[in-house]
């Protein structure tokens, strides 16, 4: 087990708690319009696709594709091991994107188009959804 | 009816000393720049009846980033204004100039002092460049839109924009050798600008050998924090007759924002908000990209200047890499001289306003050794990610 990196915590409130605590149940959740099925991110009280205000958190598969990625080398926090920041696109909907980290493989092995799956990293009462290559060892 | 832009000119420009860790306050630097601009415009402080800045005081990013707010500057100069404005939301840093042009066009003011001041080099102190959201003690937390990036260890616009650049590299085959020519070109021009921060020669090999910040950005893809203030005076167009130098005409502005205003949710990561502001600009003028003699395009990161080249139609979408390759087209004697003062990469991070200042110098024929012959039309662009504003300036005829 490698040591967890430092992370700035999100300010959790009623509008985002469903997202930041979903990992407690091992799930990734997004708001979804109960009228037309559109996933909203970041959270918003009204579906921008159909106008419905009936939106609620729903779990997604946690499968995604790397849309873009960068290997950070700058020691912003004093940490010197390179890390991968990525934008992933969730399997459920084109354009449903999340900025996240890719873990579980050497940074230089991450590539745009790669299939990844969610894994959670717990800090206090927050579960950070990060992603690892599909099929990588746990 | 005349477009509102044509009712204004930039009548005067001023710039404080620019440097690393000057140890002077932002207000002090602002006053220096403002007094120079007012005198350059052939005015006195009593003539100034408007004031505007970006982003204004009270920015959460701190006063070294934001500079003094308009109330501080108004009070320090004892200005009596009919119109005043500061704010961070709008067409990037240029929003302050656009607001002034709107105010003059609407008759709310005759002569507006517009300024942008940074003391980020002093603020940085002896340490390295700070990440965003890491300040304060204890366990830092972040809310709002930043909660979707900073908790994932994306502490800087360098990280956010690297994701855009990587996507551009992926889709269009753009290379570091191409991107690097924007930095090499900036350094080449900075050698001819006594106010520039980095003036020593830099080759493409030097660029490629620099340490990596966040792929594909190396050290020289990132601009250099400085201390300095830039001021311009936006005046009624009929003031042109009162000047002892050519007036700079405001031909058009580009302020549109159609995509989702977000760093990571923007539809096409290879374009950013520059796409919309750039397209909007050309709807407000009969001039064409081929009419532009000099381009002063935001380069907080090298890649942003490439994006602006595409957004403003100097080349096609995805063609920024081949356009800058070798650096000939963008050189001072090329078809589109780019960032003639060294940009922010080598000139220093005056945060947008350095480009306006340089565009005015070029149009007035006062750019010294780096003067582009017969510069009559200049494109100025500010911003990156979901933030963008563009402006077309002309030597008033």
pLDDT tens string B179-235: 999 999 999 999 999 999 999 999 999 999 999 999 999 999 999 999 999 999 999
What count of Cα atoms within 13 Å lies in the side-chain half-sphere of residue B208?
A: 9
Burial class of B80 by CB neighbour count within 10 A (0 to 12, 13 to 18, 19+): exposed
CB neighbours of B47 closer than 8 A, spacing ≥ 6?
A: B38, B110, B111
Q: Can you give the C-alpha Rg of chain B in angstroms? A: 20
Q: How is residue B212 written in tokens?
A: 């990596």
Give yes or no for residue B154 having a pLDDT over 80: yes
| Among the partner residues A5, A41, A42, nearest to B153 by beta-carbon distance | A5
**Helices B274-282 and B302-311: angle between axes, nearest 10 degrees:** 40
pLDDT digits (tens, 9 = 90+) for A76-91: 999 999 999 999 999 9
Mean pLDDT of B386-396: 96
Assign B78 to helix, strand or coil.
Answer: coil
Percent of chain B with pLDDT over 70: 97
Given an 8 Å threshold on Cβ–Cβ distance, is A76 in contact with B148? no
Give yes or no for residue A2 having a pLDDT over 50: yes
Percent of chain B with pLDDT over 90: 92
| Among the partner residues B129, B142, B264, nearest to A97 by beta-carbon distance | B264
Q: Which residue of B has its CA nearest to A103?
A: B152
CB neighbours of B301 closer than 8 A, spacing ≥ 6?
A: B157, B158, B161, B165, B217, B221, B222, B223, B384
Given an 8 Å threshold on Cβ–Cβ distance, is A85 in contact with B152? yes
> For residues B216-228, b (16+ Cβ closer than 10 Å) or e, as one string?
bbbebbbbbbbbb
Angle at B119 between CA B74 and CA B141, to 5 degrees: 100
| Among the partner residues A41, A72, A130, nearest to B214 by beta-carbon distance | A72
Which pLDDT band holds residue A1 (cuts at 50, 70, 90)? Answer: very low
Given an 8 Å threshold on Cβ–Cβ distance, is A70 in contact with B215? yes
Burial class of B137 by CB neighbour count within 10 A (0 to 12, 13 to 18, 19+): exposed
| Among the partner residues B131, B141, B165, nearest to A76 by beta-carbon distance | B131
Q: Which residue of A has its CA nearest to B269?
A: A68
Q: Which residue of A has its CA nearest to B265?
A: A97
Give yes or no for residue B150 having a pLDDT over 50: yes
Residues of B in contact with A127 (CB under 8 A): none
Angle at B61 between CA B183 and CA B347, to 5 degrees: 25
Which pLDDT band holds residue B57 (cuts at 50, 70, 90)? Answer: confident
Residues of B in contact with A98 (CB under 8 A): 148, 264
Q: Which residues of A touch B (CB under 8 A)?
A: 5, 7-11, 13, 16, 41-42, 67-77, 83, 85-87, 95, 97-101, 112, 124, 126, 128, 130
Residues of A in contact with B130 (CB under 8 A): 76
Determine the number of helices (DSSP H) and then strands (DSSP E) in chain B.
13, 12
Mean pLDDT score of chain A, rounded to an integer?
Answer: 96
The C-alpha of A134 sits at a distance from chain B's nearest C-alpha, in angstroms, of 20
Mean pLDDT of A115-133: 97
Q: How is residue B234 written in tokens?
A: 């936006």
| Among the partner residues A42, A74, A85, nearest to B163 by beta-carbon distance | A85
pLDDT digits (tens, 9 = 90+) for B321-350: 999 999 999 999 999 999 999 999 999 999
Q: How is residue B52 written in tokens?
A: 């505007």
Mean pLDDT score of chain B, rounded to an integer?
Answer: 96
Q: Rounded distance, CA A111 to CA A23, Å? A: 25
Number of A to B CB contacts under 8 A, please give it: 115
Mean pLDDT of A44-68: 98
Give the pLDDT confidence score for residue B397 in this predicted structure: 61
Report pTM. 0.97
Residues of A in contact with B162 (CB under 8 A): 70, 72, 85
CA distances from A92 to A136, B114, B267 (A): 21, 48, 17
pLDDT digits (tens, 9 = 90+) for B257-295: 999 999 999 999 999 999 999 999 999 999 999 999 999
CB atoms within 10 A of CB B232: 31
Burial class of B260 by CB neighbour count within 10 A (0 to 12, 13 to 18, 19+): middle
Instruction: Extract the runs of DSSP E, i.e. beta strands, from chain A.
Output: 9-10, 28-33, 39-40, 55-60, 63-72, 83-90, 97-102, 115-123, 126-133
CA distances from A29 to A120, B21, B156 (A): 12, 47, 26
Burial class of B117 by CB neighbour count within 10 A (0 to 12, 13 to 18, 19+): buried
Instruction: Tell how strand A63-72 and strand A115-123 pair up.
Output: antiparallel
Given an 8 Å threshold on Cβ–Cβ distance, is B164 in contact with A68? yes
Give the pLDDT confidence score for residue B60 in this predicted structure: 77
Q: Which residue of B has its CA nearest to A83?
A: B153
Given an 8 Å threshold on Cβ–Cβ distance, is B142 in contact with A10? yes
Give the pLDDT confidence score for residue B157 in this predicted structure: 97
Q: Rounded distance, CA B14 to CA B32, Å? A: 8
Given an 8 Å threshold on Cβ–Cβ distance, is A11 in contact with B142? yes
Cα of first residue to Cα of last residue in chain B, in angstroms, is 19
Q: Rounded distance, CA A91 to CA A66, Å? A: 11
Q: Rounded distance, CA A75 to CA A117, Å? A: 27
CB neighbours of A14 closer than 8 A, spacing ≥ 6?
A: none
Given an 8 Å threshold on Cβ–Cβ distance, is B264 in contact with A69? no
């Amino acid at each position: 087990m490698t040591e967890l990196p430092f992370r700035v915590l999100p300010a959790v409130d009623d509008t985002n708690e469903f997202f930041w605590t979903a990992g407690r149940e091992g799930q990734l959740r997004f708001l979804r319009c109960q009228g037309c099925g559109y996933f909203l991110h970041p959270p918003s009280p009204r579906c921008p696709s159909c106008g419905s205000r009936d939106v609620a958190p729903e779990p997604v598969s946690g499968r995604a594709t790397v849309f873009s990625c960068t290997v950070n080398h700058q020691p912003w926090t004093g940490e010197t091991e390179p890390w991968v920041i990525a934008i992933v696109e969730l399997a459920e909907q084109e354009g449903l994107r999340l900025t996240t980290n890719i873990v579980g493989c050497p940074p230089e092995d991450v590539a745009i188009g790669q299939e990844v799956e969610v894994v959670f990293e717990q800090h206090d009462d927050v579960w950070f959804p990060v992603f690892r290559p599909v099929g990588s060892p746990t | 009816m005349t477009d509102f832009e044509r009712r204004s000119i930039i009548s005067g420009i001023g710039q404080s000393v620019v440097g690393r860790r000057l140890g002077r306050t932002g207000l002090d630097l602002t006053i220096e720049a403002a007094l120079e601009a007012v005198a350059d415009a052939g005015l006195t402080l009593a003539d100034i009846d408007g004031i505007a800045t970006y982003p204004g005081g009270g920015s959460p990013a701190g006063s070294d980033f934001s500079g003094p707010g308009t109330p501080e500057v108004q009070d320090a100069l004892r200005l009596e204004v009919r119109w005043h404005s500061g704010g961070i939301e709008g067409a990037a840093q240029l929003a302050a100039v656009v607001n002034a042009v709107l105010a003059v066009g609407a008759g709310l003011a005759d002569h507006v002092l517009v300024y942008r001041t940074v003391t980020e080099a002093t603020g940085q102190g002896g340490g390295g460049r700070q990440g965003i959201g890491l300040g304060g003690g204890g366990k830092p937390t972040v809310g709002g839109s930043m909660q979707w990036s900073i908790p994932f260890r994306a502490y800087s616009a360098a990280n956010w924009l690297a994701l855009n650049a990587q996507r551009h590299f992926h889709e269009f085959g753009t290379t570091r050798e191409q991107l690097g020519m924007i930095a090499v070109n900036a350094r080449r021009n900075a050698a001819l600008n006594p106010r520039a921060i980095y003036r020593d020669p830099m080759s493409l090999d030097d660029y490629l050998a620099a340490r990596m910040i966040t792929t594909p950005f190396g050290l020289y893809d990132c601009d250099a924090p400085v201390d300095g203030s830039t001021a311009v005076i936006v005046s009624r167009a009929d003031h042109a007759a009162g000047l002892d130098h050519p007036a700079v005409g405001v031909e058009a502005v580009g302020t549109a924002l159609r995509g989702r205003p977000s760093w990571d949710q923007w539809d096409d990561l290879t374009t950013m908000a520059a796409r919309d502001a750039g397209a909007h600009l050309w709807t407000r003028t009969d001039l064409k990209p081929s009419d532009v003699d000099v381009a002063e395009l935001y380069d907080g990161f090298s890649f942003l200047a490439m994006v602006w080249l595409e957004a403003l139609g100097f080349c096609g979408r995805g063609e920024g890499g081949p356009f800058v390759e070798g650096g000939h087209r963008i050189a001072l004697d090329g078809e589109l001289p780019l960032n003639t003062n060294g940009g922010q990469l080598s000139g220093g991070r005056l945060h947008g306003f350095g480009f306006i200042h340089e565009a005015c110098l070029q149009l007035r024929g006062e750019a010294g050794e780096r003067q582009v012959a017969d510069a009559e039309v200049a494109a100025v662009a500010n911003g990156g990610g979901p933030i963008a504003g563009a402006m077309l300036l002309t030597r008033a005829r």
